A = this chain, B = another copy of it.
Amino acid sequence: MITIAIDAMGGDFGPLITVPGALKCLEIVPDLRLILIGDENQISPLIPRNLQSFVEIVHTDQCISMDEKPSRALRGLPNSSMKLAIQAVSEKSADAIVSAGNTGALMAISRHILQTLPGIDRPAIMARLPVKEGATYMLDLGANVDCQAEHLYQFAIMGAAFAAANGHVIQPKVALLNVGVESIKGNQQVRLASHQIAQSEALNYIGFIEGNELFSGKADVIVCDGFVGNVALKASEGVMRLAAEKIHDRFSVWWLRWLGLMLRPFLKSLTKELDPTYLNGALLVGLQGIVVKGHGSSDVQSYTNAVMQAYREVANKSNDHFEEIMNQIEF
């Protein structure tokens, strides 16, 4: 059996999305158990009788609002649904935790309760980018907005270890996001990190990569500061919206309108793919436990995807492989 703790109160719509979203997974995989943490009065009515035996409800009144300061979320709310869900992982009563709640709080509390892996100072938000072929993982996507070279180096190791653990490639190609490919380009942190990553025998470093190559599939792992990663993906999302609008306007004459309509769902889905948390949830890597961040405004389907991602991480033991590889690397 695989047990996943659900922060049922997390996200813009709370249990109305998280509970049905999580329950859907019980129909997909047979060996799944859920611990739903939050307001029992809101949760239990949403659970059909035939599924009750696969679900445990842990009641709490406290939940963390989306605009709560991480520090206050950590100290001020000892029994928040998010905190109890993370505790379930640290106490081994759950194998992974999924939350669509406040990202900063999720980072702070996970780091506090689960601790980071040996050699890792800060966890990072990692997601799979939409690329034409293969898989490209990008980190950090916003957990750390002020990275030193050492942090970028740690992200490179985590990304490479994860890509290898997930069996996509033996020697994942690691690239560092920069404003140019020449060695003189970029700021000091990036140039220092590049030197440090190039030194490491554990990493297959292919050098700098520019923003326009993010989605080219050139690299298996792309490393950047969380500020840059966050803005880069959101900007890509924004321009896809603009493209969708422009296409819609362009084909607004009646005899072409069907064309615009035909393209819209296609562009919409690509736009969603650009949101690291939306499609499958984003992984918080570097922690001694599996934490998946779902999108705040997840619908039932994307919340289901996030829980399934957590399930797969547990089923593939990818975190064990991950930690194995991490332990082989001297920092």
Chain A residues proximal to chain B, CB less than 8 Å: 67, 69, 130-132, 142, 145-146, 177, 179, 182, 184-188, 190, 210-216, 224, 226-228, 230-243, 245-247, 250, 259, 262-263, 266-267, 270, 274
Q: Is the interface of A mostly helix, strand, loop or mixed?
A: helix
* A211-B187 contact in complex given A142-B179, A145-B179, A266-B250, C-beta closer than 8 Å: no
Contact B238 A263 (CB under 8 A): no
Residue of B nearest to A226 (CB): B179
Given the complex, which residues of B lie within 8 Å of A224, measured CB to CB? 231
Specify the chain B residue showing the minimal Cβ separation from A224: B231
The closest CB in chain B to the CB of A71 belongs to B184
Asked if A227 contacts B230 (CB within 8 A), the reply is no
Which listed residue, B179, B185, B239, touches A240 by the CB 8 Å rule?
B239
Residues of B with C-beta under 8 A to A250 = 266
A216, closest chain B residue (CB):
B238
How far in angstroms is the closest Cβ of chain B from A139?
A: 14
Q: If the complex has contacts A132-B242, A146-B187, are A211 and B233 also in contact, measured as CB distance less than 8 A?
A: yes
For A227, the chain B residues whose CB sits under 8 A away are 179, 186-187, 190, 228
Q: Which residues of B contact A213 (CB under 8 A)?
A: 238
A233 to B239, CA, bound (A): 9
Contact in complex: A237, B259 (CB < 8 Å): no
**Which B residues touch A235, using CB under 8 A?**
211-212, 214, 232-233, 235-236
> In the bound complex, do residue A242 and residue B187 qualify as a contact, i.e. CB atoms below 8 Å apart?
no
Can you name the residue of chain B whose Cβ is closest to the Cβ of A69?
B184
Q: How far is the CA of A235 from the CA of B236 in the complex (A)?
A: 6
Q: Which residues of B contact A241 (CB under 8 A)?
A: 212, 215-216
Contact between A131 and B242 (Cβ–Cβ < 8 Å)? yes
B residues within 8 A CB of A188?
Answer: 146
* Minimum C-beta distance from A83 to chain B (A): 20
With A and B bound together, what is the CA distance between A187 and B246 in angstroms? 34
CB pair A242–B215 under 8 Å, yes or no, is: yes
Residue of B nearest to A215 (CB): B242
Partner of A228, one of B130, B182, B228, B240: B228
Please list 5 pairs of residues, one from A and one from B, whose beta carbons are closer than 8 Å in the complex, sorted by A's number.
A146-B188, A211-B230, A211-B234, A213-B238, A215-B239
List residues of chain B with CB within 8 A of the CB of A212: 234-235, 237-238, 241
A178 to chain B, nearest CB (A): 8
Query: Sorted from nearest, which 5 A-B pairs have the closest CB atoms?
Result: A211-B234, A236-B239, A211-B235, A212-B238, A232-B235
Contacting residues, chain B, for A186 (C-beta < 8 A): 145, 227
Closest Cβ of chain B: how far from A185's Cβ, in Å?
8
Most chain B CB atoms below 10 A, which of A146, A211, A233, A274? A211
